[in-house]
Structure 1
Amino acid sequence: MKTTQSKDGTTLAYDVYGNGPALIYITGASCHRSFKPIVQDAKIFASEFTVYNYDRRGRGDSGNTLPYTVEREIEDLEAIIDAAGGKAHLYGHSSGAVIALEAALRLGNKVQKVTLYDAPYVCDEKEKAEYKQLSQKIHELLENEKNSEAMLTFLKEIGMPKVFVLLLPLFPGWKTTKALAPTLAYDIMLTQDMPPLVRATQISIPMQIIVGEKSPVSINKVGRQLTKAIPNARFIRLAKQDHLVSGKKLLPILSTFLKE
């Protein structure tokens, strides 16, 4: 484990794998850098990249200076980019894709190329209203320190398989996952609005937008909305993949785009 500090003094923990161009792995909701699927993907990507796998604030071994803002998340990412040498490619998964897109807008030439997978903005006003109800429910549970219920409710409502959600508390890593519940409020803040399509037209960094063929219809719609808005963005609908994408299936697409 290595550490660096964000602009506000928050300690950020990260691991480094492999050799090659620097690639920052930005994880989504309910994830941390030591989560087994995240580590597996990071090591797969490390066959062709130097992968920086970090704990977003409030997760794992990173700090959690309050109050939370999207700007602080971008400053955290900038600190990891600086630790990687000052320039890097970005791979953002789920809510991590939102951070990656914001970084493309805010961090200038520190960001080389960006790949987004399943950016989970709400796709229309109807979904925004439904998500607001979920947000209120999650915040109420967190305020009452019902972290376990908050995590399970969130995962169920965003479409995780019911059987998986029911069995999750029986898994060895449940205690760690449950401890991440307060950060759900952060991910909700990142994803509660429709994609910033007008601002996205200003992106000049090469962007690749990937959605899983089996991912929710709303995520597919958002992917196409972003592709249309971002100049020269590349769109890929990855066959037979859902939100929990296979790192092995993703690597050839990442490599082709980031190294060309």
Structure 2
Amino acid sequence: MEIVTSADGTPIATRTIGAGPTVVIVGGALSTARDAGALAQAFADAGLRAVTYDRRARGDSGDATVADPSREAEDLAAVISASGSDAAVVGHSSGAVLALYAAGEGVSMTRLFLSEPPFRFGVDDPASDLADRLQALVDDGRPGDAVVLFQREGVGLPDAFIEQFRASPAFEQVAPLGRSTVYDTLVTKRVSTPTAAMLRVRMSVTILRGSETMPILVAAASRLAAAMPDAEFVEVPESIGHRMDPEATARVVADRLI
């Protein structure tokens, strides 16, 4: 593990594996760099140098007093800069939203891969005060309840699934990430509809979608592809249930970088 210092002084923990063209992986909601381990290994096996990192308020990374998506764009810029001047970015879910937002803000990257970004294009957006209510739960020492609220209102998961997950051992590992839900809510709220700057980024863009995923993500990928006519759309049949298949995704990325 290595520590990169972001623009505001926040420490960001990174991990690197493999050799070849550099790919920075940006994870989605309620995930850490460790969750991207299998994907990073598949990239390394395919001849790539994979960099994973804990987004702020997660894992071994730090945080700021006030949550702001702009800080996360600066974090990604710092990770890319520390990994070398030429790096592609693979973002998944809210990590894909963040990656395209960062590119629109001028963060330098050679190529962009967007896996199932949950852009809503202003349709059925979560309540405008969701981030405030999530922060209030965190401030009250209830990060697990913030996770549950985020899953219910931010993601739209059914209560039966949430309760089953809450009763599982996995919930104890995810509960400490409650503060990170504030960041995911804020970035997806800020760019529910991609900005003009995001839609006209200069690097090549590949939009990835699994064959079996949530309807909202199918719609989002289609609308984003239509809004970015120069972008490439690739369906990855092996990616199921809003999870990136490591080997299949590595093949798509490596074919375009090596």
Judge conservation of contact 1:195–1:226 (CA < 8 Å) in 2: no
Secondary structure of the residue aligned to 2:233 is strand
1:170-209 matches, within 5 Å, as 170-171=168-169, 174-192=171-189, 193-209=191-207
- Residues 1:256 and 2:255 aligned together: yes
The farther-off stretch of 196-205 and 137-146 is 137-146
Residue-by-residue CA offset, 1:125-171 (whole Å, 9 max, x unaligned): 3x11x454755654453343322222134335525574575245532
Check 1:133–1:9 CA distance in 2 against 1; reply closer, same or farther (3 A cut).
closer
Q: In the alignment, which of 202, 208, 232 is matched to residue 234 of structure 1?
A: 232
Shift of residue 39, structure 1, vs aligned partner = 1.2
Mapped partners of 2:162, 2:19: distance in 1:
35
Contact preservation (8 Å) 2:43, 2:250: yes
Deviations 1:214-260 (A, max 9, x none): 2222212221222122251001232252211211221111112233x
Write out aligned runs for 1:103-252 (5 A): 103-107=102-106, 110-125=108-123, 127-128=124-125, 130-132=126-128, 135=131, 138-157=134-153, 158=155, 162-163=160-161, 166-171=164-169, 174-192=171-189, 193-239=191-237, 241-252=240-251
Q: Which residue of 1 aligns with 2:85?
A: 86
In structure 2, the CA distance between the partners of 1:41 and 1:143, relative to structure 1 (3 Å rule), is: same
Counterparts of residues 92-107 of structure 1 (less than 5 Å): 92-107=91-106
Alpha carbons 1:155, 1:165 under 8 Å: kept: no
Q: Which runs of 4+ in 1 moved over 6 A?
A: none
Residues 119, 194 of structure 2: 8 Å contact kept: no
1:7 equivalenced with 2:4 (yes/no)? no
Q: Which amino acid aligns with 1:175?
A: E
Instruction: Answer yes or no: is the 8 Å Cα contact 2:134–2:182 preserved in 1.
Output: yes
Report percent identity of matched pairs: 26
- Decide whether aligned partners of structure 1 residues 106 and 124 sit closer, same or farther in structure 2, where only a CA change above 3 A counts: closer
Mean CA deviation greater in 204-213 or 187-196? 187-196
* Structure 2 CA distance for aligned equivalents of residues 254 and 83 of structure 1: 21
**Alignment check: 8 A CA contact 1:24 1:51 kept:** yes
> What is the identity, as a one-letter code, of the residue corresponding to 2:102?
A
Q: Is the 8 A contact 1:203 1:231 kept in 2?
A: no
Matched, 1:18 2:18: yes
Looking at structure 1, the residues matched to 208 and 103 of structure 2 have their Cα atoms a distance apart, in angstroms, of 16
Any unmatched runs of 5+ in structure 1?
A: none
TM-score by length of 2: 0.88
Change (3 A) 1:131 1:123: farther
Query: What 5-or-longer segments of structure 2 have no aligned partner?
Result: none
CA RMSD of aligned residues (A): 2.3
Partner of 1:170, secondary structure, is: coil
Residue in 1 aligned with 2:57? 58
- The whole-number CA distance in structure 1 between the counterparts of 2:257 and 2:224 is 19
